[in-house]
Structure 1
Amino acid sequence: MLIVAIVSMYVVFDDILMTPITHPRFTKITAQGQPLSPWQGPWACVLDHQHNLLWEVKTDDESIHDGYWTYSWYDQGLGKANFGDCYFESARCDTQDLIRHTNDKTLCGQKNWRLPTERELASLIQPPARPGQPYIAYDYFTHIKKGDYWTNHANVKLQQQFAHLKQGAKAVNFHNGKVVTLPYRNAAFVILVSDITKAYSHAQLSSRDTSTTH
């Protein structure tokens, strides 16, 4: 009887191990736009099924997507250009630089990378899975720092010690899960997002043309 019980337990446990583990919201995507299982890698983007978005994944390789680079907020004359720190620009870095380089690279098959809205970025906030980690699904969004990340919400009135600078932009802090307003000149982090405009199969992601015309 004991042997039968042990064998039965092993069969059940083995079935659990063989059951594919999926995330209810996120899927890892390669740089070429192909889906991966949760335990596979490397991945360059994360597909957000809940909001039909594709998120940039930060790296630790001194590429344009390195998670340590910081950026001032700048968009076509609005904000403060070249007040962040990176290695891929000769005149320091701003948000427009990262957007341009990422679209030129066609990361994960997409050409419409942009700053996220406040609502989109705040939707990534969740309690840390482990002590000391940022407020995000860190198993998917690796190399996210416990700091401020820019949104596209600009022309916001600054308060208190920043009041003399008049206006800035909203940012999400993944150290405490709060939304803050920062001067454009502040060097903050960035995670870009891309719109997925219609339903598609995972296998078709890399071949779809989602570029936008302005």
Structure 2
Amino acid sequence: MRCLHTANKRGHAPAIMVRRSLIGTALVLLSACGGGGGGGSAPAQPPPVVVPPPPHVLAVNSGVAIQGLTGEAVLSFRPALLAAATYPVGMSFTITGATGGIACSPGVDFFVVAASNVSATPAASTTGRLTLDAGSVNRQVDLAICSGAGSADKTLSFAWNDGNASGVASGLLRASASSTLELSKRINDTGITTCASLAAVGLACPQVGLAGQDAELGRDGTAAITGQGGFRVSAFMLTTLPNSSCVQDGVTGLVWEGKTASGLHSANATYTWRSAAAANGGAIGTGNGGVCTGSVCDTDAFVAAANSERTCGFSDWRLPHADELSGIVDSGASAAPTIPAAFANQAAATYWTDSPKAGDSAGAWAVDFNSGAVTAQAKSTANRIRLVRGR
């Protein structure tokens, strides 16, 4: 090896180290030698390009919770993780927009529900950290929303940061006492997470020539962002309320009655459709025509019994509207009943809504959780019920 010197534009002679090929006369550039005069150091090299690690958290869902008269609702903030996330995943959070505490008390709007992998500032529950391992059962930050019949609607801001990425999710605390609050326009998606070709179903998305299928749109369109641990942020956001069997829907804000194996809320109990309300379609319906325990076996009587009992701490239970009940149908379910697994003790059967059938005073609408279809039924039919609360 030897250094050759060539003049540059300014007349200097930087040295270039070359090596003569053993099989020819080609010169191979190796590196810069010292400056003119045979000495000096190599010129400074640019620093290496540092590629930051990918974020573990891709997004955090926004949600709705409806405050109750005596019971506590839950507002959940669940992260969607990178499919190849490296565990443990840590996510810090800060909550603003309402008053936090360590438990419900006068002036407190919410507190962070205790979990082994969630830490929160004890005094205010407004800052904390969620840590996820591959096998973590709890995979979200749950806020217990305190009862507040006299409070107004409030919007929470849930700012998060996993060290590589950050973002803000929102949470709407809808006041139960708000008489001007309209029906929520937020709806669940269908639960369908696969695509179809002209010849088959249950296929991966997308399918060539058949773009824009159900599974590619809306909340279902993010079903592939699953992370680890068997959860997703698409279609449904359901949380069982503390110390109860009732289920909070984080998308719509509605709270659903939990069913049990026996007793007043037995999953097998049936009721005929009866409503003394003016909006009953012109006929009150059939009283006490079902088979149940703990109440007269029609819809009016069961609603009254649940409110008298203050099921899950609430006394504003009602029959769901047809669009509300059909909104918890999981059309992507592989088998009946066609409803998310969070709804325990669900039967593959027909459930009443409060919606009478137009033009038929003897009929009302129901949802079949065997097929997922909305069907018209005679009010004298004995069907099941799952009550709801909220607007």
> When the two structures are superposed, what TM-score results if normalisation uses the length of structure 2?
0.39
- 1:70 paired with 2:188, answer no
2:248 is aligned with what amino acid? L
Contact 1:70 1:93 in 2 (8 A): yes
**Aligned-residue offset at 1:87:** 2.5
Kept in 2, the 8 Å contact 1:71–1:84? The answer is yes
For 1:15-54, list aligned pairs within 5 A: 15-18=133-136, 20-22=138-140, 24=233, 25-30=237-242, 43-54=244-255
Match of 2:337 in 1: 134
Secondary structure (helix, strand or coil) at the match of 1:98 reads helix
Alignment of 1:56 onto 2:174 = no
Deviations for 1:165-202, whole angstroms, at most 9, x for unmatched residues?
x5210000000000000011000000000016xxxxxx
Tell me the SS of whatever aligns to 2:303. Answer: helix
Identify, as 1 or 2, the structure richer in helix: 1
Tell me by how many angstroms 1:157 deviates.
3.8
Q: CA deviation at 1:58?
A: 0.7
State, as a whole percentage, how many aligned pairs show the same letter. Answer: 29
Q: CA deviation at 1:155?
A: 4.3
- Is residue 2:289 matched to residue 1:83? yes
Q: Is the 8 A contact 2:357 2:376 kept in 1?
A: no
SS of the aligned residue for 2:134 comes to helix
Q: Corresponding residue for 2:59?
A: none
Residue 151 of structure 1 is matched in structure 2 by: 353
**How many residue pairs end up in the alignment?**
164
**Larger fraction in strand:** 2
1:117 to 295, 314, 321: 321
Quick one: distance in 2 between partners of 1:28 and 1:96? Answer: 26
Larger radius of gyration: 2
Dislocated runs of 4+, deviation >4 Å = 11-14
SS at match of 1:187: coil
1:192 alignment partner in structure 2: 387
SS in 1 for 2:356: coil
Higher relative contact order (Cα pairs below 8 Å, separated by 6+ residues): 1
Determine helix, strand or coil for the equivalent of 1:149. Answer: strand
Maintained 8 Å contact 1:128/1:134: no
Is the CA contact 1:157–1:167 (under 8 Å) kept in the aligned structure 2? Answer: no
Q: Which runs of 5+ in 1 are unaligned?
A: 1-10, 32-42, 159-165, 197-214
- Does residue 101 of the first structure (1) align with residue 305 of the second (2)? yes
